[in-house]
Chain A
Amino acid sequence: MPFFELNDVHTYYGQIHALKGISVKVEEGEVVTLIGANGAGKTTTLKTISGLLRPRQGTIIFDTHRLDQLPAHKIVAMGVSHVPEGRQIFPRLTVLENLEMGAYLLNNAAEIQQNLDHVFQLFPRLKERVYQPGGTLSGGEQQMLAIGRGLMLRPRILLLDEPSMGLAPVLVEAIFNIIRELNQQGITILLVEQNAHMALQVAHRGYVLQTGRIILQDSAKALQANEMVRKAYLGEE
């Protein structure tokens, strides 16, 4: 049985059929990327996994547990952490309070402190800003905070939605280095990106999404070499 699996998942927004049968597998320790144009259904897929949306059909399995009928706050408790698109920082909570919310389900102060240290080690910048309201951080700092907050629970699988969106190239590089580092520490990652170029460099495998369907899946290397992917997503002629 795979570590993590979506099987024929259909999700709707009212009448709008946004996911039309998505099947994705992720093995423990992998970085898997979902790439696709704007509106393809990448965010919808992550929201369906984390419980913000409920699939109308299909199953989602994580480490032998069914996730597809659980509310969001119970899915996090299983070790599935979703770093949402657009950062979604709590603007009037301080950096520290945002991180504390990430550890909401932990009760052991020592454990929380340990995870906090881990986050500060990854993002020393956040440590300098602990008492600043989240809403006053720069875009890059907010992304670091969003990822840091998602790590406070020591998740077993991390869902990242466009972590590089709107960031300067240097920061994009830094974020992808962090993703690599996290994976080396043993965290399984499902990465959604429009920046297919970068995503395919860190990922082991990838899926290509188009209007709610998966049209291609392969190893990252093979996708990088694929004619269609090169034209449509890597901007090559």
Chain B
Amino acid sequence: MQTETVAPTRAVSRGIFSSQMLRTLFAPLGQLAIWTVGTAVVLSLVVLLLALIFRTSSSGVDRFTLVLSILPQVIVDSMVLGFVYAMIALGYTMVYGVLEFINFAHSEIFMIGAVVGAEVLISLSEAKALENFNPLLLILLIIAAGMAVSGLVAVVVERVAYRPLRNAPRLVPLISAIGVSFFLQDLVRMLESIWRNAFYRTYPDVPSFSQRISFGDTLDVSYKSIIVVVAAIVMLLALNYLVGATKIGKSIRAVAQNRATASLMGIDVDRAIALTFLVGGALGGAAGVLYGLRFSTINPYTGFIPGIKAFTAAVLGGIGNITGAMLGGIVLGFLETFGASYLSIFTEGAFGAEYKDILAFGILIIVLIFRPKGLLGEVVGERA
């Protein structure tokens, strides 16, 4: 980023690194903050209003107090889930942006990240090395391990299962992706069964992660939750920088917008596509580790549900749109967590958390009926 070396006509280039670059970097973050706060406020108002209207339950409980008392915790949990979805959703949306293809195996890339994170932690724990590890270093280590393995697997999958089909009819790579998805599930199951003799894995307890900080009476947040949210925000910022301000990122966007012309610029299109899978896969792997930290027990089939949901989040945000995927993930995380937390309070236990998806997806379908291109609009496919 040295802009100092050449003197006279630097005006324009200097511009890239000042206002313009800051805008590319931080505008999405601002949007993210607005949507997070906005969704939190709207949903909180909705539940509080409902609680006021239906204040007393048949058993005489004051719903308003109840709703209010768990609200801060619900918002924190929503953010944790939302950021995990957002990170997975980025992998779907980036690949769609470049290839107009849904990489259904991305949920398994995510799962592999979760498994790698678990195995690294378990190995350290078995070696009795967990205690003398700096917690921050430990976090960085397992996230890096998950990112590396998932990113590489994503690149290999693209090379082996998608690239040869790039000019085939659209359904063909889609079927290939579904095949890869099953293949990876059972491959991980097999490897784990051979190596560990079990394929359900539990993240070992790291005492420093499980500590909680209390804010008043109603809210205490575990370090894990903070780690998830902070790591996700750092990752999203890094992605923004990569895609918005680096040469690699610009070449990926150029390939997404016009593949043939990108090659006329000297961009190696195959390489740019591989890089997209690497970046999307690495983010998915990081999300897997964070998911594992938060929800503890994982297995080779863990990826399916979060994967489908993150894919939905990408569509909700506007598939192909990177900021949209983040927002879609956040909104879905909120809808789902609010549903899980409040359904039973309002239905007197008739419908509990197990029906959260009906609520969340019901709302999603309604949103998409009115905004079929997603919250921010689909951005691929258009040509000037």
Contacts and interface: CB of A to CB of B under 8 A. Distances in A.
Nearest to B268: A73
B128 interface: no
Interface bracket on A: 35 or more
Interface string A63-101: 000000001110011000110100111111110110011
Interface stretch (A18-26, A104-112, A207-215): A104-112
A52 B5 contact: no
Interface stretch (B118-126, B327-335, B355-363, B376-384): B376-384
Contacts of A205: none
Interface string B5-17: 1100110110110
Given A91-B383, A135-B384, A153 B266 contact: yes
B20 A90 contact: no
Contacts of A134: 384
Contacts of B9: 113, 116-117
Given A91-B257, A109-B5, A135-B384, A127 B267 contact: no
B270 to A, nearest CB: 9
Interface string B60-77: 000000000000000000
B267 A116 contact: no
Contacts of A51: 263
Nearest to B379: A92
B384 A91 contact: yes
A92 B260 CA distance: 16
Given A93-B257, A101-B254, A117-B9, A77 B264 contact: no
B254 A90 contact: yes
Contacts of B265: 73, 76, 101-102, 104-105, 149
B57 interface: no
Given A92-B253, A142-B384, A113 B13 contact: yes
Nearest to A135: B384
A135 B381 CA distance: 13
Contact of A72 (B10, B263, B383): B263
Contact of A93 (B20, B250, B263, B379): B250
Nearest to A142: B384
A130 interface: yes
Contacts of B384: 87, 89, 91, 134-135, 142
A132 to B, nearest CB: 11
A76 B2 contact: no
A101 B250 contact: yes
B254 A116 contact: no
A51 B267 CA distance: 13
Contacts of B263: 51-52, 71-73
B258 interface: yes
Contacts of B290: none
A50 interface: yes
B298 interface: no
B261 interface: yes
B264 A72 contact: yes
B261 to A, nearest CB: 4
Contact of A88 (B251, B258, B266, B269): B258
A134 B383 CA distance: 11
A50 B10 CA distance: 32
A72 B261 CA distance: 10
Contacts of B15: 130-131
Most buried by A among B250, B251, B265, B384: B265
Contacts of B3: 109
A109 B5 CA distance: 9
Interface string B72-94: 00000000000000000000000
Given A82-B264, A104-B251, A113-B13, 16 more contacts: A50-B264, A52-B264, A72-B260, A73-B268, A77-B266, A84-B264, A91-B383, A92-B253, A96-B16, A101-B262, A102-B265, A109-B6, A113-B9, A116-B12, A130-B12, A153-B266
27 contacts: A51-B263, A52-B263, A72-B260, A72-B263, A73-B269, A76-B266, A84-B261, A87-B384, A88-B260, A90-B262, A91-B382, A93-B250, A96-B12, A101-B254, A101-B262, A101-B265, A104-B251, A104-B265, A109-B5, A110-B5, A113-B9, A113-B10, A113-B13, A117-B9, A135-B382, A135-B384, A153-B266
